[in-house]
Structure 1
Amino acid sequence: MIRVEQGSAPLIVSIPHAGTDIPEGIHGLVSPDLARHDADLYVDHLYAFARELDATIVRTTVSRTVIDVNRDPSGHTLYPGQFTTGLCPIQTFDGEPLYEPGALPDQHEIERRRAEWFDPYHLALALQIERLRAAHPALVLYDAHSIRSVVPKLFDGELPNFNIGTNDGASCAPALTQAVEAICDASPHSRVTNGRFKGGWITRHYARPDEGVHAIQMELAMRTYLIETSDTWPPPWHEETAQACQQILRPILTACIDFAKAQA
């Protein structure tokens, strides 16, 4: 369920939400389709080119409905006062219930899922950070996400194409943020930094810029690489649109590597 592809460049691409697997033993869901509705569709496929940059990729194939590996396991909300989903979500981003009445996962079930899928993901990330920090004076942890362009319960209107999150500047050096921003701003797409999405638990938890671990989150509006439609879901992979997006993402990841190497 946890997939790690090791590279030697000072870059880790974390993909926590592209999984759609619903393992055996997950009971009480309204439907498997609904449980997969909020996946970061095809993000693993979108960033597959990172292997060519010698980056390390860490991802899970498990649906975020089973357990969200980008949530604070203590239950602390990352966005006080705003709607968000928890460690084991019980509703979709649209507020639809994910479980049948009386079938919500109890604390024992949440702990079981944490031990089986959450903890191994974070062990994998920690081990890759340790491995690369032993070889490089600095590295970038790039947390890759996407979301539907319009989700009224989460944000007003249409989300910008590129949503950079650095925990209000605390998770990485300004030079890294500026390098990523410049590439986004040179594209034909819209960009915001630390808007609705400031970085999830992965970005905030692992960031130690003073110790050479710089973390940044990229939340893509899905229209940036897919043809979104309200008629059918999920939309199919759209090669032409995805390739146009990759022409922007490739220099972004390259800039992350160059930034890390420059810290020597």
Structure 2
Amino acid sequence: MEHKTGYTPDFEVREPALQTIPFVFNSPHSGRNYTPAFLAQSRLDAHTIRRSEDHFVDELYAGAPALGAPLLLAHFPRAYLDVNREPFELDPRMFDGPLPPHANTGSLRVAGGLGTVPRIVAENFDIYTGRLPVQDALMRIELLYKPYHACLRRLLARTHDRFGFCVLIDCHSMPGNTKLAGSGLRPDFIVGDRFGASASAALSDAAISILEDLGFRAVRNKPYAGGFITEHYGRPRRGLHALQIEINRSLYIDEATLEKRPEFPEVEALVASFMRRMADFTEHLSSQTSLAAE
């Protein structure tokens, strides 16, 4: 049984009646509430603007509360605000008016058009017809970004306090044509641990092993090692572990129509098995010293 806490029109937490496993699941890019006001700002149609969305990832992980873990999910779309960035990773060319002096205007993600307030969606489609008022960006950060991360921090702190360690699974999807450089391999899953900086090797190894045992092609860190959330919250020496899990979206949607494929229920069931087996892995460790704080 699950219930919702902290529900807003913008994001929600789906909670188990009692949290029984040391996991927090987070789906920051699956939001699909494209408001009329946002669409009116954009040059893109209602279909094209969804190209950066992690389509239905929140539904793939919907079984988390039944397993005993909370699921935080965004309703606002990534094209509107990306919470997997620093809070002020902003492109000054997008806005009328000066940005705050603490804004990070020189990151590679900003240069690529994918800052906190993105300039483009996937495949380099510009979102806006012109510049935005700088106050528009700052409002999105104050009203959405900061409350979202405050909620995530509370979930992680509560879980760590209860179990002595915490595992954050940051849930994402990737385009079907994603390839592993130099091999041509198209992975089904990519497990990102910031090259060992955000989670213990035991946890990353377990994730890869479980996914392969479920019949998937799984690789680690390339081309996606984890974004801001994984980097910011993963502190394995303190018993805070963060993995970014990317699923190849061609497994479960038609990427042209963005409709679910007939295989969606099967993939959802396999994701539920992955979550359950990851929970079993942490429960049955002979020693949790590799996961708990040192």
| TM-score bin, normalised by smaller chain | 0.7 to 0.9
What residue in structure 2 maps to residue 257 of structure 1?
Answer: 279
CA shift digits 1:26-58 (9 cap, x unpaired): 352113333222211111111111121011000
CA shift digits 1:172-195 (9 cap, x unpaired): 111100111101222333221000
CA shift digits 1:174-221 (9 cap, x unpaired): 110011110122233322100011011111111111111110011111
Change (3 A) 1:49 1:220: same
What residue in structure 2 maps to residue 2 of structure 1?
Answer: 11
Instruction: Determine the C-alpha separation between the residues in 2 that align with 1:141 and 1:41.
Output: 20
What residue in structure 1 maps to residue 228 of structure 2?
Answer: 201
Is this contact kept in 2: 1:183–1:248, CA < 8 A? no
Query: Is 1:164 matched with 2:186?
Result: no
Q: How does 1:172-191 map to 2 (within 5 A)?
A: 172-191=199-218
Is this contact kept in 2: 1:85–1:93, CA < 8 A? no
Give % identity: 26
Instruction: Determine the C-alpha separation between the residues in 1 that align with 2:265 and 2:56.
Output: 13
Instruction: Determine the C-alpha separation between the residues in 1 that align with 2:134 and 2:178.
Output: 29
Give the partner amino acid of 2:15: Q
Aligned pairs, number: 256
CA shift digits 1:77-129 (9 cap, x unpaired): 876799461111111210111111x2x33432111111111111101101111
Instruction: Determine the C-alpha separation between the residues in 2 that align with 1:255 and 1:159.
Output: 24
Which structure has greater strand proportion? 2
Change (3 A) 1:81 1:70: closer
What residue in structure 2 maps to residue 28 of structure 1?
Answer: 41
Unaligned runs of 5+ in 2: 1-9, 90-103
Is this contact kept in 1: 2:192–2:220, CA < 8 A? yes
What residue in structure 2 maps to residue 46 of structure 1?
Answer: 60
Give the partner amino acid of 1:122: H
Change (3 A) 1:79 1:97: closer
Instruction: Determine the C-alpha separation between the residues in 1 that align with 2:34 and 2:252.
Output: 25
Which has the bigger relative contact order, CA under 8 A and spacing at least 6?
Answer: 1
Unaligned runs of 5+ in 1: none
Is this contact kept in 1: 2:233–2:242, CA < 8 A? yes
Instruction: Determine the C-alpha separation between the residues in 1 that align with 2:246 and 2:124.
Output: 20
Give the partner amino acid of 2:260: W
Instruction: Determine the C-alpha separation between the residues in 1 that align with 2:11 and 2:245.
Output: 21
Give the partner amino acid of 1:160: P
What residue in structure 2 maps to residue 120 of structure 1?
Answer: 147
Q: How does 1:1-264 map to 2 (within 5 A)?
A: 1-7=10-16, 8=19, 9-23=21-35, 25-26=37-38, 27-31=40-44, 32-75=46-89, 83=112, 85-100=114-129, 102=130, 104-150=131-177, 159-226=186-253, 228-230=254-256, 233-234=257-258, 236-238=259-261, 240-261=262-283, 262=285, 263=288
Give the partner amino acid of 1:86: G
CA shift digits 1:113-147 (9 cap, x unpaired): 11111111101101111111121111110000112
Structure-1-length-normalised TM-score: 0.87
Instruction: Determine the C-alpha separation between the residues in 1 that align with 2:255 and 2:50.
Output: 16
